[in-house]
Structure 1
Amino acid sequence: MWQKIALCVACALLLAVYACTDGGLTVSNEAELKRAVQQAQPGQTIVMKNGVWKNIEILLQAEGEEGKPVSLVAESPGGVIISGESNLTLAGNYLVVSGLVFKDGYSPTGSVISFRKSKTEYANHSRVTETVIDRFNKTERFESDIWVTLYGKNNQFDHNHLVGKMNQGVTLAVRLDTEESRENNHRIEYNYFGPRPVLGSNGGETIRVGTSHYSLTDSKTKITHNVFDQCNGEVEIISIKSGANEISNNLFVESAGTLTLRHGNGNIVENNVFLGNNKPHTGGIRVINADHIIRNNYLQGLTGYRFGGGLVVMNGVPNSPINRYHPVKNVVIERNTLVDISAVQLAAGADAERSEAPSDTSFNENLWMATAPMGETFTAYDSLDGITFSNGGVSGLTTSVAINAKETAVSKNAAGFWQADDNSVGAKMDNAPVTLDQVGVAWYPKGDLRPKLNSGKTISVSAQSGMLEAAVANSQPGDVLELAAGEYTVDRVLVVRHPITIKGVAAQQLSDLATKIQFTRNALFQIEDGGSLRITSVVIDGSSADDSAGNAAIRTTRYGMLNNYRLELDRVWVKDLNINHSFSLLKVSMSTMADEISIRNSRVETVTGDVLRLNVETEDLGIFNADYVTLVDNEFSKVDGNIVALYRGGTDESTFGPHLLMQSNRIADSGKGSRNAQKTIALLEGVQVVDILDNSASQSGDFIAHSRVGEPVYWIKNNQLGESKLMVSYKGVPVDVSAEVNERE
């Protein structure tokens, strides 16, 4: 008892403003926190009082001891909210941080959490645990930062929750740029890496270990027992750019991209589970460099192809510079199970530069299977003389590649995984490597928490003056504004700040639609950051719009967006966008990204600009404005510009999109306006997937599709285009696909 009294007396004398409790020294503001850190001794716990701590840069620089760390904790887990321009830096030895939530703000520096104060002051033997970073993004989409940056040695990042990184930059990076951070033995474990949307550019990895410059250095980092849930930022979910790392017992769920051994040698990838659930571009493991072991992994329902396939073994560059593709050598791939995998790519990426095929690489005792008929899974792009296959098992799968596998009886085990009945091949997966309830924190919800279209209330809106404007302004995320029959004249731009639906009175024929919206400004809707818009059963009439050039019925904010948005038009009649030249249906700004833009069952007529103007990212940096563009069963007539102008420049290979589907559309008298220099109805640059199916065109311009990166997929089928030409090229070479010939390139 006397020790407790003495301690509290000392606290009162030295730090009179603090509250001294059995749980540690409680601080209530930044000044108290700084003084507490300055005087912290081994074994000291500093307790941050619950509440919102805004615009605070926390520096935990102290010296603990093994078994006696200096700890910084929330009064109660999740009770301390770090907001505004804030961050956390650790420097010293044996430090622990726990229970904080970063939200409603961003870091003013290059990291939200950094294990380094300066180039000479690192954290070692330190831990961050049970901490949340939720959409703590820079204000500009392409202003890059890293949420968590690990330096020093022997640090641990565990049981944390990271979700919603939307600006450019890696979610978590291990840095090796000084000797003090190499062979670091960091542990990244039991974390929840929640949904990360498509960035539309390079720089959207979830984890990166090392960089190409230090890639021949060993990191010795362990990434174990984490869940990667819908991590879709770019083609590399985990990018390993160093050696001697272990990536094991992780669960990848519906994540587009792959675990990529991009640089570095001697990495181990084992006991991981990849569940794609047949979502687009879900991938598995991509192999580059030497001396890796890839074993006992379970991969199922992965639809990815090219560099995002289920299992990809790359070709390399002979005598490769450190930042390119080192050849695959001495790699062992054994006892893995691959179920319903769309693509296994061998010697992938072979070209004039990547001309060295894999060597001394073995596939042993793997189980290859399909639960339903599927096309060719294996593709070889170069010689396979350096790859051996032995003692494999196969079920329900045929392939032209000699994989030396025998027919094997299979069944599901108690944990729900397919396995060989005699257990002679494939992964031994008695249990899932990790489950959702084992990762992250128990007190913060998992999943994509962003509001969705059609998830709110239904609100009736009359055609009285000002009612639609008021309804939009007062709406809540996900609301459906159900418009009565009548004419709505809108005298201000309707700002869409969250997902809303505008729904008119349904009619069997578009000409019978009874809900009509006219607008007098230079735009009807403006989608702001966080907004999405669905419009159905409505006539949009631009004949009363402001008499100025470059109007748009719908536009995005000119300041860019962090959040991806959706735009859906279904059974909409858009007409008379012709008050002046260059009047478009949709016009987007730079640094905006749509997950999907779709127009279905609609009519668009008399437009002096483009229907969809999605070609503003012209700096050839691999950036684009829409991931999926869908035009199905529409009528387009008297459009001076393009039905769709979609651009993705550059030669970067880190993204999957854009994707375009044009199917069953009727196009007439379009694409020949005086400002349409190329006289096109579709002008596509760098679009990775182009499906043009069952369309008709008369007295209209041409379809032009150019690409210069990746392996684009063109599917042109059953189109009746009249005088319109369809010109497709890849890397400047024409692709022999015409309106009357069905081919897939």
Structure 2
Amino acid sequence: MTTQINSIAYSLLVMIMLTAYGCATKPSHKVASNPEELTGALSTAQPGDTIIMANGEWKDADLLVEGTGTKDSMIVVMAEEAGKVILTGNSTLRVAGEYLVVSGLYFRDGHTLTSEVISFKKDKNTLANYCRITQCTIEDYSNPERHESDYWVGMYGKNNRFDHNALVGKGNKGVTMAVRLNNKESQDNHHLIDHNYFGPRPNLGSNGGETLRIGTSHYSLTSSNTKVVNNYFDRCNGEHEIISNKSGGNLFKGNTFYECVGTLTFRHGNDNIAESNAFYGNRMPNTGGIRVINKRQKVFNNYGYGLTGHWFRGALVVMNGVPNSPINRYHQVDGAEIFNNTFVDCDYVQLCAGSDEERSAVPINSVIRDNVFWNTEKQDVFTVYDDISGIEFTNNYISPTIKNIIDRGFSPIKGELKKDGNIYRLDGGKGAGLMADFEAVSKDKAGPSWYLKPGKKEAFDYGQEKVVKEGADLYDEIAHSKAGDILVLEPGDYLLTKVIELDHPISIVSSGGATIKFEKSNLFAIENGGSLKLKGITIDGAEAPDYAGNAVIRTSRYSMNKNYQLWIEDCEFKDLDVNHSFHVLDVYKNTFADSIMIKDSNFTDVSGSILALDKENEDRGIYNAEYVVLENSTFNNIGQPIMKLYRGGSDESTFGPILTIADCDFEKVGFGPKNDSNKAMVLHGVQKANIENTTFSDTKELNIFHTVGEPVTVIESVVIDDRSLLQISDNTATIHNLKEAK
């Protein structure tokens, strides 16, 4: 990532910062060019001293900033120029002592070998107190093993501050930032986490992808008293808990959540406050707001816009609890106060969510008052799963289209909401909706002053277009391409004698009929960082070797900490039958697709599966793909299941897989000699499945097995030989207009 450095502005900023701590007039300044010199300078540092880290790459640097300053004369360790002290390889930073400041460091091009990149402690007995880390960035500093867990920042001790930093692109398991309460010296800590930029975090496809966690279930009845103020959360999509609050007495105020998939979750702990936060979903899938659990939580003066999340991921979710709950389950909502919030064009408000045989303790002693719920498109915004008599509803306003859930406490809004900057307010609502002092942080006010925040990037086709003539070395053309490039193949045949390894997104397209054949067991290997779009291409397997387990496309054999996308449009796949298990896509463990789309394409004579997405089969809530779409395509003579899409286990922290099959025809599927499942399609644990306007002719069974969560399966206008071929594990699926062909 390029940086924008303004040395004069940075120096002025640091001078202001030092003056604020009373240490700008101290005479001692030392320069360190390597970790050894830094250690030496710190060994003699006195309150008020400033140590300058020289610009350049500091590789595999295990930095320990330890010392004792004072409130009025802090010890400062700062980059010569912010963003130009680059920590690479296996570099880490530990801060221990009192009244220390670290500023301007940039972690990239590596990962930690320990449990944390930045730690507010030296070891379990030597912590940081009254220390500050500011103007630093950690970017794409992920362990290459996707499910190897670590933190990027661990806060320990008391009265520390983490501000104006950027944490961007964590791709492996583990919380991006954690406040730890694992000893008395770190409890009731009064930390301040403010004005940070929490940048895009990709979907992990399992539990363990939180962006911020405060406490753990073990210490959840302990007070942390941490303030999380004016931070910007940008597309933080690791799992459905963007912030996982697991302690008491915390304040979340003035934060902005932009197109984040998930919620601010009061998972454990009591007496927490969510005040004046903004949640901009902008109609992006699964974007959520605030989830309420436990005792005496306050949720007020928050704003939600265009939030689409369902069930635990709604705009506002009030949970059911477990009677006499163990500390790590769901404690009953008791004494919640939810008031003066405004939700505009948000799809779901969930009350008593999670109600089941175990979670039977309904909310009590709670109030929902003076809120505004506005949606002009959707009537069933409110979902009530259990008894809501323990919630008092007073002076809430709803748009006329929304169905009321109770005969008191709600009034229809007369007129329209009024735009006020980037929010809507209710005019004349008698005290309902946002308060006059509502203010959430803007993107430009969060993060380091020197860091250029990432913008939105298209999945494909943002690079250069290049025409490839028939007879050209396609392998070489792809090897010399760059991210986002489009290779336009002229009509003709292209024979590949090597596996094409993709480590960046690329599009291969043709409008005149290009055919690719290949002599290896794979044509494409999507490696870490790679994605593939095929359009207008014919893939012919006639020249492939007679190896069991061939695949046109496979993922890396090694763990991938970057998600990939595969789009196939207007293509033909044929003659993939030289052996008994020739797949179109086969994946390996620890790889994850954000989206797989097949559209307007034809598949004929495939001895294996079209999509073999079943390698995470250890029932730990991990799976191989989030969105899978098959649209307006035909599949004929497919030997094994069209699709094997698997998500096992009982974890509820993820959204997918999410499957759509529309306007497709499947004929003669599942009759291959190595189809041990004896199925034409296997969907296990898919959270949302929509199959419509599709025909299954001469196929084996279609198996749909529901597991955890609230799975939604809709089957509409489907033709099948025999209804008995549709095997669903329970009776929760919605089936309309199912026709039998025989």
Q: TM exceeds 0.5?
A: yes
Give the whole-Å Cα distance in 1 for the aligned partners of 2:301 and 2:315. Answer: 15
- 2:719 counterpart SS class: coil
Alignment match, 2:396: 392
The aligned residue for residue 227 of structure 1 is: 232
Tell me if the contact between 2:700 and 2:725 (Cα under 8 Å) persists in the aligned partners: no
The alignment partner of 2:345 has SS state of: strand
Q: 1:490 to 1:437 in 2, by over 3 A?
A: same
Classify the secondary structure of the residue corresponding to 1:719: strand
Tell me what 1:418 maps to. 424
CA distance in 2, matches of 1:739, 1:549: 40
8 Å contact kept, 1:197–1:232: yes
Once the two structures are superposed, residues 568-602 of structure 1 have per-residue CA deviations (whole angstroms, 9 ceiling, x without a partner) of: 01011001111111110000000001000111000
Aligned to 2:730: 733
2:569 is aligned with 1:570: yes
- Which whole-Å CA distance do the structure 1 matches of 2:459 and 2:422 have between them? 31
- Match among 427, 430, 436 for residue 443 of structure 2: 436
Structure 1 residues 208-287: aligned runs within 5 Å: 208-287=213-292
2:484 pairs, out of 456, 478, 498, with: 478
Separation in 2 of the partners of 1:271 and 1:397? Answer: 26
Q: For residues 184 and 121 of structure 2, what CA distance do their matches in structure 1 show? A: 14
Matched with 1:463 is 470
Q: Indicate whether 1:374 and 2:378 are aligned.
A: yes
Whether the 8 Å contact between 2:28 and 2:48 is mirrored in structure 1 is no
What is the aligned partner in structure 1 of residue 678 from structure 2?
Answer: 679
1:89 counterpart residue number: 94
Matched, 1:135 2:140: yes
Tell me if the contact between 1:699 and 1:724 (Cα under 8 Å) persists in the aligned partners: no
2: CA distance, partners of 1:438 / 1:22: 32
Matched, 1:705 2:704: yes
Task: Determine if contact 2:713/2:733 at 8 Å carries over to the other structure.
Answer: no
Alpha-carbon contact 1:111-1:145 (below 8 Å) kept: yes
Partner of 2:7: none
Q: Which residue of structure 1 lines up, in the alignment, with residue 17 of structure 2?
A: none
Name the residue aligned to 1:8: none
CA contact (8 A) 1:257 1:282 kept: yes
**Tell me, what secondary structure is at the counterpart of 2:475?**
helix
CA-CA distance at 1:450 after TM superposition: 6.8
Q: For residues 107 and 266 of structure 1, do their structure 2 counterparts lie closer, same or farther at Cα, with a shift above 3 Å needed?
A: same
* Cα distance change of structure 1 residues 64 and 72 upon mapping to structure 2, 3 Å threshold: same
**1:415/1:431 contact within 8 Å kept:** no
Q: Quick one: structure 1 residues 716 and 440, their matched pair in 2 at CA, closer, same or farther if it must change by over 3 Å?
A: same
The answer for the alignment partner of 2:531 in structure 1 is 532
CA distance in 2: counterparts of 1:640 and 1:452, whole angstroms? 32
Q: Whole-Å Cα distance in 1 between the matches of residues 348 and 733 of structure 2?
A: 24
Change in Cα spacing, 1:363 to 1:86, as seen in structure 2 (3 Å) is same
Task: Provide Cα deviations, 1:680-700, integer angstroms capped at 9, x if missing partner.
Answer: 222000000001010012111
Matching residue of 2:66: 61
Instruction: Note the alpha carbon deviations across 1:308-330, whole angstroms, 9 max, x for none.
Output: 01101000011111000000001
1:482 to 1:429, Cα distance in 2 relative to 1, 3 A: farther
Secondary structure at the counterpart of residue 213 of structure 1: helix
Q: Is the 8 A contact 1:249 1:434 kept in 2?
A: yes
Alignment match, 1:9: none
**Are the aligned partners of 1:111 and 1:149 in contact in 2 as well (CA < 8 Å)?**
yes
Structure 2 residue identity aligned to 1:691:
N
Residue 400 of structure 1, CA deviation: 3.8
The whole-number CA distance in structure 2 between the counterparts of 1:62 and 1:651 is 46
Tell me if structure 1 keeps the 8 A contact 2:470–2:489.
Answer: yes
Task: State the Cα deviation string for residues 86-139 of structure 1 (Å, max 9, x = none).
Answer: 110000000111001100000110001000111110000000001001010111
Aligned-pair CA distance for 1:247: 0.5
In structure 2, give the amino acid aligned to 1:671: G
Is the Cα–Cα contact under 8 Å of residues 719 and 738 in structure 2 kept in the other structure? no
1:679 is displaced (CA, Å) by 2.6
Q: In the alignment, is the contact (CA less than 8 A) between 1:720 and 1:739 conserved in 2? A: no
Alignment partners' CA distance in 1, 2:605 and 2:723: 19
Whole-Å Cα distance in 2 between the matches of residues 740 and 604 of structure 1? 27
Higher alpha-carbon deviation: 670-679 or 407-416:
407-416
Partner of 1:510: none
For the residue of structure 1 that corresponds to 2:476, the secondary structure is: helix
d(CA) in 2 for partners of 1:268, 1:105? 37
Give the aligned partner of residue 202 of structure 2.
197
Matched, 1:543 2:552: no
2:304 counterpart of 1:299: yes
Contact 1:98-1:129 at 8 Å conserved across structures: yes
Is 1:183 the equivalent of 2:182?
no
Aligned residues: 711
TM superposition shift of 1:341: 1.6
Say which is worse superposed, 601-610 or 694-703, in terms of deviation.
Answer: 694-703
The answer for the alignment partner of 2:6 in structure 1 is none
Give the AA of the match of 2:90. Answer: E
Give the equivalent residue in structure 1 for 2:646: 647
Aligned residue for 2:322?
A: 317
Question: Using the alignment, how far apart are the partners of 2:637 and 2:723 within structure 1?
Answer: 15
Unaligned runs of 5+ in 1: 1-20, 507-513
C-alpha change, 1:450 and 1:619, in structure 2 (3 Å) is farther
- How far residue 735 of structure 1 moved from its aligned partner, in angstroms, is 3.9
- Cα distance in 1 for partners of 2:394, 2:299 equals 15
Q: CA deviation at 1:741?
A: 4.5
- Deviating more after overlay: 419-428 vs 600-609: 419-428
Residue pair 1:728, 1:734 contacting (<8 A) in 2 also: no
Aligned CA-pair RMSD: 1.6
Deviation, 1:399, is 1.9
CA distance in structure 2 between the partners assigned to 1:341 and 1:30 by the alignment = 51
Secondary structure class of the residue paired with 1:109? coil
1:23 and 1:374, CA in 2 relative to 1: closer, same or farther beyond 3 A? farther
Tell me by how many angstroms 1:702 deviates.
2.2
Amino acid in the other structure paired with 2:128: A
Residues 647-700 of structure 1 deviation map (CA, whole Å, 9 limit, x = unaligned): 000010000000110111111111122221333222000000001010012111
What is the CA-CA distance between 1:737 and the residue it aligns to? 4.8
SS in 2 for 1:505: strand
Aligned AA (1:232): N
Quote the residue 1:3 is aligned against.
Answer: none
Instruction: Note the C-alpha offset of 1:432.
Output: 4.0
2:627 — aligned with what?
A: 628
Per-residue deviation, residues 692-726 of structure 1 (Å, max 9, x unmatched): 01001211122211111000111110011224745
> Is the CA contact (8 Å cut-off) linking 2:601 and 2:632 kept in structure 1?
yes
Contact 1:699–1:723 (Cα < 8 Å) also in 2: no
Superposed counterparts of 1:609-628, under 5 Å? 609-628=608-627
Q: Which sits farther off after the overlay, 409-418 or 243-252?
A: 409-418
Distance 1:244 1:25 in 2: 41
- Relative to structure 1, is the Cα distance of residues 135 and 22 closer, same or farther in structure 2, using a 3 angstrom cutoff? farther
Which residue of structure 1 aligns with residue 454 of structure 2?
A: 447
Equivalent position of 1:4 in the other structure: none
Cα pair 1:703 1:725 within 8 Å, conserved:
no
Asked whether the equivalents of residues 49 and 80 of structure 1 are also in contact (C-alpha less than 8 Å), the reply is yes
The answer to whether the 8 Å contact 1:701/1:724 transfers is no
Determine if contact 1:451/1:477 at 8 Å carries over to the other structure. Answer: no
Gaps of 5+ in 2: 1-25
- Aligned to 1:37, what secondary structure does the other structure show? helix
Question: Aligned pair 1:495/2:501, yes or no?
Answer: yes
State the shift of 1:449 in Å.
7.0
- Partner of 1:511 in structure 2? none
Q: Deviations over 1:154-194 (max 9, x none)?
A: 00000001110110000110000000000000000000111
Is 1:401 aligned to residue 400 of structure 2? no
Which one of 208, 212, 226 corresponds to residue 207 of structure 1? 212
- Is the 8 Å Cα contact of residues 395 and 408 (structure 1) preserved in structure 2? yes
Cα offset, 1:479, TM superposition: 0.7
- Counterpart residue identity of residue 60, structure 1: V
